[in-house]
Amino acid sequence: MKTITEQLQTTVRDEADVLVVGGGVAGVAAAVAARRQGAEVMIVEKTALFGGLATNGLINWFEPLCDGEGTQLMYGLPEELLRRSIQDGPDTLPEIWKDRSVPVDPARVVHQKQHPVGGRYGTYFSPTMFQLALDELLRNERIRIRLCMSGVRPLMEGGRCLGVITESVTGREAYLAGAVIDATGDASVLHRAGVPCVKGKNYFTFIAQEPDASGPRGSLPNRRWRSIGASLYGVGHPPGYIHYSGTDTGEETAFLLDGRRLLQDMIREGKIPGRDITALPAQAQFRTSRRLDGGAVLTEADQARRQDRSVALLCDFDRPGAWYELPFECLYHPAFDNLLAAGRMISAAGWAWDVTRVIPSCIASGEAAGTAAALAVLRDAPLRALDVTLLQQRLRAGNVRLHRDEA
């Protein structure tokens, strides 16, 4: 492979206590959490809009905050962002969860995720309305924002990250920070910093949205998913297709172009009623690409296991009654002083990786990472020396549940 050698002089454009790279729901949550701890925060997003897969990727289903048996497990920023996702737009919240000042009646609970009366505490939302709500939240928190900017290289001094080199229409710039949170979805900052990471694999699952003329006019059912390829468990993965790592631009390009081509074929074959598509995804819809190999790895064996150093309580979105407590060490590697992961790239394996990659879990890990980053910077402490008891106290002060018996 040919290489070139560069000698560059890069302008330092700005500095912050906490720099978040990636503006999906995990990155937004991390930025908000750090700011609420008193840190100066900047967030960098490579696209024009916040929300990541939840908005740009059209995955507009907010997985449940409850255990499927009538008990809410997740509060804090996951619940705040769920409510913000539907504050100005439509929703499909089951009746028992619409007014949280009223206790849930156990007799009305139905073991069905999307039942209109007694289903789980989740909802469909409008991706565009959620994008506007995320803008408003970041503005109100006075977080410094840079859109259409990619974080391309961490500036490392041993195990400490001094900041990140970015590229944008402005050119190449440096942003310095006391702590950096990688919320890119593919661990690109961590990987380039030399942090141990693990590659995943992804089935070919391309989702667009089509109008549904059979639904009530102006309601969310009019935004029906049109899924091409594999199910969550790989059923329907096209023969001969690779399992995508999600860490190569060639794979991303092929995924998006193939998905759009197959969708166009379906339209021409008359398989899509009305011959119209409402929206195409603006990013590849990879679930598990590259993730941190951290100080701890959450696995399916940890289901229903108490974690003394828990920083989040997570619902299993597909298995009613199942839950996980997330150890702090799943957010960082102890050899690196001030680099954290948030979202679908935290340290988890197997089915537990699937549990951590959905919207509420991404927000929860972002909230924990942002809170930890702010505390570490403001106390000038490496992550491995951070007082986890203090971190837990701050998270609880934000209405976060950390253990199952607190729900």
pLDDT tens-digit series, residues 296-331: 999 999 999 999 999 999 999 999 999 999 999 999
> Residue 221 — very low, low, confident or very high, per pLDDT cuts 50/70/90?
low
Tell me, yes or no, whether 256 and 221 share the same domain. Answer: yes
Q: Quickly list DSSP for 179-235.
A: EEEE-SSS-HHHHHHT--EEE--B--EEEEEEE-TTSPTTSGGGEEEEEEE--TT-T
More confident residue, 272 or 291: 291
Tell me, yes or no, whether 346 and 363 share the same domain. Answer: yes
From the list 14, 38, 19, 11, the residue with the least C-alpha distance to 338 is 19
pLDDT exceeds cutoff 80 at 46: yes
From the list 394, 376, 379, 43, the residue with the least C-alpha distance to 179 is 376
pLDDT exceeds cutoff 80 at 121: yes
Tell me, yes or no, whether 211 and 178 share the same domain. Answer: no
Tell me, yes or no, whether 93 and 55 share the same domain. Answer: yes
> Residue 26 — very low, low, confident or very high, per pLDDT cuts 50/70/90?
very high
- Gap between the Cα atoms of 285 and 54, Å rounded: 10
Tell me, yes or no, whether 98 and 222 share the same domain. Answer: no
- Gap between the Cα atoms of 125 and 130, Å rounded: 7
- Element (H or E) spanning 353, and its range? helix 351-357
Tell me, yes or no, whether 230 and 294 share the same domain. Answer: no
Tell me, yes or no, whether 224 and 310 share the same domain. Answer: no
From the list 242, 244, 243, 205, the residue with the least C-alpha distance to 225 is 205
Total of domains in the chain: 2
From the list 111, 21, 117, 38, the residue with the least C-alpha distance to 71 is 111
From the list 399, 317, 405, the residue with the least C-alpha distance to 120 is 317
Tell me, yes or no, whether 211 and 189 share the same domain. Answer: no
The residues facing 292 across adjacent strands are 197
This prediction's pTM? 0.94
Token pair for residue 304?
Answer: 């229903």
Q: What percent of the chain has pLDDT over 70?
A: 98
Please, are residues 124 and 61 in contact by the beta-carbon 8 Å criterion? yes
Range(s) of the domain holding residue 271:
207-275
Residue by residue, what is the 3-state secondary structure of 108-143? Answer: HCCCCCCCCCCCCCCEECCHHHHHHHHHHHHHHCCC
Our measurement of the distance from residue 231's CA atom to the centroid of its chain's CA atoms, rounded to an integer in Å, reads 20
> Residue 230 — very low, low, confident or very high, per pLDDT cuts 50/70/90?
confident
CATH of the domain at 60: 3.50.50.60
